[in-house]
Amino acid sequence: MGGLDGLVKSAGIIEHSEIATLTEEALLRKIQTNLLGPIRLTQNAMALISGGGAIVFLSSTLADRPIKSSAVYSATIGVIDSFMSAMAVDG
């Protein structure tokens, strides 16, 4: 016992809003949940995952194909997609 076999990240928040009316609070909530949360989870999981473990992130098509009023969500998910690609290169 002890350690961690893997991590699956599937949570995130999307709150459709136009950039012109986006509040600072809403922006920070999206960044903290969709961007900083997964990075911190990965940091903590890597300290506990032993050989053969895995980290899996579920993404969204909105990272590559945004829709109206999804700019911040799409951006945060796109950054996380890049983060996971970089983590794969790092091993």
Record the tokens describing residue 1, joined without a space. 């016992």
pLDDT of amino acid 2 = 72
pLDDT band at residue 91 using 50, 70 and 90 as cut-offs: confident
Q: What is the pLDDT of residues 36-63, one digit of tens each?
A: 999 999 999 988 987 888 999 999 999 9
Taking the C-alpha atoms of residue 70 and residue 16, their distance in angstroms, rounded to an integer, is 6
- pLDDT recorded at residue 1: 56
* Amino acid, res. 54: A
Structure tokens at 32: 């903290």
- pLDDT at site 50: 78
**Residue pair 34/12 in contact by the 8 Å Cβ criterion:** yes
